[in-house]
Every structure is written in structure tokens, then in C-alpha cells.
Amino acid sequence: MQVDLDYVWDENPDQEQKNLQLLLRRVDRLGVNTVFLQAYADPDGNDGAEALYFPSRHLPMRRNLFGRTAAAIRKMGVRVYAWMPLLAFAPTAEHAELLVQRLPLPRDGVARTERAPRLSPFHPEARKIIRDIYRELAEHADFDGILFHDDSVLSNYEDVSPAALTVYRRAGFPESIRRIRASSALRRRWSRFKTRYIIDFTQSLAAMLRKSNPGLQTARAIYGRAVLEPESEEWLCQSLPLFLQAYDYSVILAMPYLEKAPDPDRWLAALADQAFIQALHPETLVFELQSVDWWRGKRITTATMVRQLRLLRNHGIVSFAYYPDDFFNNHPDASLFNRAMKQKRDLNRGGRS
């Protein structure tokens, strides 16, 4: 289960403690073996870290909540992965030059996706800030793994900051991004370069964390579209084959309603098949279901989630997660979902043997 500490936090410390106890009972009832636990605060829901749930010199601390929540969950025998952004940290105004920059988008034919401000992985000072934050996380909490959030995305119009251009030039690319974009071969090579560059950065952070926690495992979120449409690496800088090599777990956002799929079940089946054939160890594919349709502002029923889980299991998928968990309103229903998670594949429904 992937848990928002934003919903545990409360201005009233007494109420916050009650919320924490409610979450712990929920973890116990669901019988999960791992919790992806939010370590940053995102009260405006823009996928960026405005504050942190541990002390830091770079961002304000909303409450020192991550460490004690992680400790309480781990005491129950459940693994905790710190769920953290890679780039989407909101620096102060004087750090504007550290941000990802992009070319102006054409007027027609390009979807305008607004993302939280992201620090450029190509700027040495930005990388230092991110390393400092991850080091501070390790100094103030014990945890079993790190989940890199889905914010580390660079489109085919990004990053065009001066620091990024310097890195591209050293790697042998033309100095003009427009020249790179004008060549399909150069554009593909540029996208793959950025994909690997971000992976290398996450690997360096994990290596740093392992100095104090040698057994730390890694996971990284990847959009379902990146699995179904490998060409989308040009605008996402995500690649399932590379993720499978780099991380202990690839957390595939198996969220058909987020992707506005006209036939959610067919979309999930295709996603499972495409991912399964690429994975040497299928258990390293974590399919994360959505419990809310954010476009419509409606919950996905537990019955629907259970049906989707069974569908994926019958296509060879064995590791599952879901987001978000509503521990205030028992959604998804703990007893139904727990039972479904424990069931074996139904081999009579056309699944793999």
C-alpha cells in the first residue's frame, strides 16, 4: 500500500496521533508486507515537495513524522520504503536558475502538461541539494528501501537550462536543442541519454544511502504508457528494460482511468503481457492499481479493484500495490482486498501456467 502522510498529519498533535493509530490498524488488517510511505509534504497535490516530514536544511519540516511512523510500521514486521521525489523539490526564489527549463511549446498538436517545478539533474548545485535531502532522510529515519516518485520525467522539450546544455555538449550533442529535435536519430539518442543520466543519478543516491543501510532496496515508478508505447521514452525518459536492470522493483502505474483507457480491462491485460515478456523475474514488476478516478473525482470500487487484481494475476503478475489508501473510510475494503491478495491464480481463466 502507498500511504500519504499528508492525511496522517494534523495541526492538532492529539488528532495526528489518533490518525497514526488508525493507519497502523489499517496496515495490520490489510496484511500487506510493504508500505510505500510518503516522506515529503505535498498539501497542494501538485506532486512537488513543499516541505518534508523529517528535518532538513533546504526545505521546511512540516512535522518530524516520517521516522516515527516508519518505526511503528516496521515494528509490525512490515517493510517500509521511503517514497520520495527525485527532482520535484520546491527551492527558494533565489534558486530559480536550478530548475528544469523547456523550449516554448508549439501552439498546435502538443499536450500541455503542467508539472511541479523540478530541479535540474544536470545542475551541480541542484544535485547537491537533492543529495543533502536524501542524506538527511537517512540520518533521521530507518527504512528498508527507497521508492523514487514519478516526477523524474523530462519531455522532448526539456531540459534546456544552461547547465543541461553544457552536459549535452560534453556528451557530443549539438549545442542547439532545435538541431537535436530536427533529427529523429539525434532525438532518440538524446532521450536515451537523459533516461540513463537520471537512472545513474538515482543509483548514486542509492549508493549513498547504502553506506548507512547496506540492505537498502530500490524501486521506481514508471507510467503504464512507457511500457505499452516504448517510443514514449522521447517525452517521458522512462524505459522498462532499463528500469528492470537498475532497480530491485519497477512500480508500474497500472492506472487505466488515469490514462483514460476506453477499455480498462483490455488496457490492463495488454500492459501485463507487455511487461511480463520483458521481465526475467516477474516478481520485480509491482503493478500499482488506482483506488480513485481523479478525472471524475470518484472512488474505484473495491469489487472493481479485486477484479483487476485477478485479471493481472491471470496474466502472470504476482506483485501488487495500490494508491491511494483511504484509512479513514476503509477504502479499499480491507477484508475484501486482503482476501483477494491471498488468492492464487485462477488457471481455468486463460492465465499462464
Give residue-wise pLDDT tens across range 271-330: 999 999 999 999 999 999 999 999 999 999 999 999 999 999 999 999 999 999 999 999
Average pLDDT along the chain:
92
The whole-number pLDDT of residue 297 equals: 93
Is residue 82 pLDDT above 90, yes or no? yes
What pLDDT was estimated at residue 344? Answer: 60
Rounded distance, CA 66 to CA 21, Å?
A: 14
Domain ranges of the chain: 2-253
Q: Would you state the pLDDT for residue 353?
A: 35
Own/partner pairs, 116-119, CB within 8 angstroms, 24+ separation: 116/46, 116/47, 116/48, 116/88, 116/90, 116/151, 117/48, 117/88, 117/90, 117/91, 118/48, 118/87, 118/88, 118/151, 118/152, 119/87, 119/88, 119/89, 119/91
Radius of gyration of the chain (CA): 20
Long-range interactions of 260-263: CB distance < 8 A, separation 24+: 260/295
Q: 79 with 33: CB under 8 angstroms?
A: yes
The total number of residues written for the chain in this structure: 353
Q: Residues 6 or more apart from 281 whose CB is under 8 A from it?
A: none
Name the pLDDT band for 95 (thresholds 50, 70, 90).
confident
Mean pLDDT, to the nearest integer, of 212-236? 95
Query: Would you give the DSSP letter of residue 87?
Result: S
| Strand partners for 38 | 83
* Angle value at C-alpha 161, between 155 and 165, nearest 5 degrees: 90
Strand order in the sheet with 145-148: 2-3, 34-38, 79-84, 145-148, 217-223, 249-253, 285-290, 319-323
pLDDT of residue 113: 56
**What integer pLDDT is reported at residue 347 of this predicted model?**
38
- Read off the pLDDT of residues 317-339 as tens digits, 9 standing for 90 and up: 999 999 999 999 999 999 998 88
72: nearest Cα among 7, 31, 24 = 24
pLDDT for 96: 82
The pLDDT of residue 346 is 46
Q: Are 236 and 153 in contact (CB under 8 A)?
A: yes
Cell representation of residue 215: 540492505
Whether residue 274 contacts residue 254, with contact meaning beta carbons closer than 8 Å, is answered with no
pLDDT, position 79? 98
Query: Smallest Cα–Cα separation from 59: which of 68, 49, 69, 67?
Result: 49
Is residue 348 over pLDDT 50?
A: no
In one-letter notation, the amino acid at residue 282 is P
Can you tell me which residue has the cell 539525434?
A: 186
| Whether the predicted pLDDT of 24 surpasses 90 | yes
The C-alpha atoms of residue 35 and residue 64 are separated, in whole angstroms, by 18
pTM for this entry: 0.94
Fold of 2-253: TIM Barrel (3.20.20)
Backbone torsions φ then ψ of 82, nearest 5 degrees: -75, 120
Cis before residue 264, ω within 30 degrees of 0?
A: no
Residue with cell 470518484: 298
Q: What percent of the chain has pLDDT over 90?
A: 86
What letter would DSSP give residue 141? Answer: -
Contacts of 112 (CB under 8 A, 6+ apart): 105
